[in-house]
Every structure is written in C-alpha cells, then in structure tokens.
Structure 1
Amino acid sequence: MSNRDVVDKFYKATQSGDAAAILAALHPRFEGWVAPGMPSVKVTQAHGPEAALAGIWGPVFRDFAIAPFAEEWFDGQYDTVIVTGHYRGTARATGKHVTAEFAHIWHIADGKLLALHQYTDTWYWREALSAAA
C-alpha cells in the first residue's frame, strides 16, 4: 500500500463518518496538530489515536456534518504526503454550509498515519456556527 493509499483511507473514513476506520488508520504513536482557532476541538495537539478522536474529530463531527476532500497530492521525503483540498459540509446547529480550504501534512510509518499538521481557514468554520445571517 502506498503512502497516498494510507492517507486516502483516512479521508474515506471521515467522509463516511466511520470512527473505527479512523482509529484503524492511525499509528499507535499518532500525533495531531490542529489549526489555531479551530472551533469545537478540545485540544490543538493530540497524542495518541483515542485522544485525537476524543479531542479533535469527535467534537468536530458533533458540531459539523463535514469531511475533507483532497484535490492535490504532493509526495515529500521521509514518508511525508502533503494534501490540499477543501472541507465541505454544514454546521449542525445552524445548517450553514462550510467550504474551507485546507493543507494537511501527513507523516506515515508502518503503513499507518503517524502525524498530521492541519492548516485551514478557521473563519469559515466559525462563521458557519454563527447564528447571524
């Protein structure tokens, strides 16, 4: 399985809302860094798969029906994959649509996702949660 395939499994798991598949894609030593200002998340850095699910993706999925959709892929050195694309979905409380650009820097080890650095425009996420028209 290629590094791109490993990353793509994660994207497909988030698109289908499959928490078990998300956890299965993550290395036991997974580390995640989230864009500062990201709404809903409980942490900006997570250590371990369960902590990432509980502190990052769980709260996001609670507040948003949303997933990342990859558009461009770049293979880096040392088992690194960089992906750009857009998150697309809606805020559950307001029904407002979200389209937010992202860049993900993934590090892969042993056929699993070892680390993620997430960059996104958090303004669009926050705006979707706003009750103002």
Structure 2
Amino acid sequence: MNTATAVAEQLYRALSDGDADALSAALSADFHATVSAGMPHDVGGEHHGRVAMIAGVWGRIDAIYDLAVVPSEFLEIGGGNKVVVLGTYRGTARDGTTRVDAAFAHVIAVRNGRITALQQITDTVRWSIPA
C-alpha cells in the first residue's frame, strides 16, 4: 500500500543508501521543495523539479557532509496524503571543521505514490557546530 508514510519511508531509505535512481523514482515530475532559509552552502530556498532537489540540495549536502538523516516519527495528516516526519540530522563536514546535530521536521505531500512536495524545517545554526 502506498500510504504517505510508506512513500516517505522509501525516501529515507534512498537517502540513506545514496541511491539517486530511487530518489528520482520517489519524486513526482512536478516536485517542489522548500528548504530552510539559512542552510549552509546556499541550498536553502525553493527548488522546483527532481533534478534541482537531487543535484542541487541532496547532492551538494552529500559532497560536503558525512550525514545521517534519521527519521524518528511519522505523523499522517491531511486525510492521508501528507505526513510530517520528525527526526535528526547527524554527522560531520567531510573537511572535519564542523559537525551537524540538528532536529528536523519534513512535511511531505504524496499523490499517486510519489512525493509532490517537501518542506524542510530545521535549526540551521546546528549545521555548523565547531568540531
């Protein structure tokens, strides 16, 4: 069954595995994301399309950080077509200068078994803790 939670779980598995093909398959053609303003390396803001999110956000973050995205709770809302995912980002910058220990909330919208939108809410200051 493609519940919003099941679809979101696929997203976190793909992120954990670094699987760009699975990420692409999880996102709809009209995917839209809002990433928290103030995110490091200018990845914050609006991102339209799969490629913009995979290459422009997740790929850039992966190149700079050794990071785990650890969801801890999935809360379905909106009649089952949205899920709020609570969790934590944890890791270190690959150059060893900073570490990340930041809570997140992702609001994920799902249609026809694919993610159509993602809004990220995180404490961006916690992305630059001195190592």
Question: TM-score normalised to the size of structure 1?
Answer: 0.89
Question: 1:37 corresponds to which residue?
Answer: 38
Question: 2:90 corresponds to which residue?
Answer: 88
SS of the residue corresponding to residue 102 of structure 2 reads strand
Partner deviation per Cα, 1:83-112 (whole Å, 9 max, x = no partner): 111012221111644221000000001100
Taking the aligned partners of 2:110 and 2:91, their CA distance within structure 1 comes to 27
Q: Which one has a larger percent strand, Structure 1 or Structure 2?
A: 2
Greater alpha carbon shift after TM alignment, 76-85 vs 26-35: 76-85
- Is the contact between residue 41 and residue 60 of structure 1 (CA under 8 Å) also seen in structure 2? no
- Extract unaligned runs of 5+ from structure 1: none
Question: 1:107 corresponds to which residue?
Answer: 109
Q: How many residues align?
A: 129
| Regions of 4+ moved over 6 Å | none
- Extract unaligned runs of 5+ from structure 2: none
SS of the residue corresponding to residue 40 of structure 1 reads helix
CA RMSD of aligned residues (A): 1.6
Greater alpha carbon shift after TM alignment, 6-15 vs 94-103: 94-103
SS of the residue corresponding to residue 68 of structure 2 reads strand
Partner deviation per Cα, 1:44-92 (whole Å, 9 max, x = no partner): 1111001111211111111011132111111101411001110122211
Question: 1:57 corresponds to which residue?
Answer: 58
Taking the aligned partners of 2:52 and 2:85, their CA distance within structure 1 comes to 23
Shift of 1:124: 1.5
